[in-house]
């Protein structure tokens, strides 16, 4: 019974994280930000080679999805372990062990059925149905999560290219680029994991390029004030006092840099 209670608590935690990370605008779940930051910190220890920049973002996103699947499988396994005979072998009818219950839960989460095991009784049949439904929901939301993240990355790189066409100091910067940046900031607010994507081309790395734009010598005071209004909507910068914004923003940009010492 204790394992079932632990499983239910873990299931609620994972479900909350999935929903907030994929459907919450401007909200992060309790797990995904920590998984992303931990994965990114590990990637920073990899060799200083170009391929590290290419795989950084995908590895962060994959780690989040893998954490959801593993923890959800673990939570259902704990719930099934609340009763010894909750899962039985289809051939012999013998009660399944802990490993077999984990395999059974994994099969149901993948929407492939229960494999060579089945639930015993109507109550556990309902649980099996819930496992299948939760698996379908997580898989669907994970696909949406990946798509939204990659779309935000593509949009960001396009706007960074546009900033080279309409740099600070031109009328087009405030008329064309700033509105585009406002849209991008809204996307990043909803999908902050796009900030972990890097590229071999330094001028297309989003956090670092934003820092360079803000420090551009030809930017007028009015344009910098307008840019700061947008930048203060980025995750982690919403409540920074104005007198501390310069230092905090520079530190924020380095936090998403694979090689902070090179920034």
Residue span of the structural domain in which 130 resides: 2-262
CB-based contact 139:73 (threshold 8 Å): no
For residue 3, what are its two tokens? 């394992």
What integer pLDDT is reported at residue 262 of this predicted model?
Answer: 53
Q: Closest by alpha carbon to 52, among 61, 43, 40? A: 43
Both tokens assigned to 201: 């081309």
Give yes or no for a contact between 159 and 177, defined as CB atoms under 8 angstroms apart. yes
Distance CA 57, CA 250 (A): 21
Size of the chain, expressed as the number of residues it contains: 263
Residues facing 117 on adjacent strands: 89
- For residue 96, give the DSSP letter: P
pLDDT at 260: 59
For residue 263, the model assigns a pLDDT of 47
DSSP 95: B
pLDDT in tens, 105-144: 988 988 776 567 788 888 888 998 999 999 999 989 999 8
Q: What is the model's pLDDT at position 35?
A: 95
pLDDT tens, the chain, 263 aa long: 788 999 999 999 999 999 988 886 655 789 999 999 999 999 999 888 889 999 999 999 999 999 999 999 999 999 999 888 888 887 777 888 889 889 889 889 887 765 677 888 888 889 989 999 999 999 899 998 999 899 999 999 999 999 999 999 899 999 999 999 999 999 898 889 999 999 988 888 999 999 999 989 999 999 999 999 999 999 889 888 888 998 999 899 999 998 755 54
Domain count, the chain: 1
Q: So what's the pLDDT on residue 177?
A: 93
pLDDT value at residue 72: 95
Residue 225, number of CB atoms within 10 A of its CB: 10
Strand pairing partners for 89? 117
Burial of residue 175, with CB atoms counted within 10 A of its CB: 0-12 exposed, 13-18 middle, 19 or more buried:
exposed
Instruction: Single out the residue of 110, 34, 42 nearest to residue 72, CA to CA.
Output: 110
pLDDT reported for residue 122: 84
């Amino acid at each position: 019974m204790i394992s079932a209670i632990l499983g239910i608590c873990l299931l609620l935690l994972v479900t909350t994280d999935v929903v907030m990370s994929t459907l919450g605008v401007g909200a992060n779940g309790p797990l995904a930000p920590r998984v992303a930051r931990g994965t990114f910190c590990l990637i920073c220890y990899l060799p200083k080679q170009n391929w590290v920049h290419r795989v950084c973002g995908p590895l962060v996103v994959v780690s989040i999805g893998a954490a959801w699947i593993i923890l959800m499988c673990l939570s259902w396994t704990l719930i099934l372990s609340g009763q010894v005979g909750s899962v039985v072998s289809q051939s012999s009818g013998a009660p399944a062990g802990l490993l077999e219950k984990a395999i059974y839960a994994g099969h149901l989460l993948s929407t492939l059925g229960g494999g060579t095991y089945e639930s015993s009784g109507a109550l556990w049949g309902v649980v099996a149905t819930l496992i299948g439904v939760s698996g379908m929901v997580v898989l669907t939301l994970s696909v949406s999560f990946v798509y939204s993240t990659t779309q935000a990355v593509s949009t960001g790189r396009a706007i960074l290219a546009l900033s080279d066409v309409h740099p600070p100091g031109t009328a087009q910067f405030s008329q064309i680029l700033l509105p585009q940046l406002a849209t991008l900031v809204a996307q990043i607010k909803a999908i902050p994991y796009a900030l972990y994507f890097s590229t071999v081309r330094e001028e297309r790395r989003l956090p670092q390029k934003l820092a360079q734009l803000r420090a551009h010598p030809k930017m007028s005071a009015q344009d910098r004030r307008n840019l700061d209004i947008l930048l203060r909507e980025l995750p982690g910068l919403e409540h920074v006092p104005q007198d501390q914004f310069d230092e905090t923003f520079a530190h924020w940009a380095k936090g998403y840099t694979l090689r902070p010492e090179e920034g």
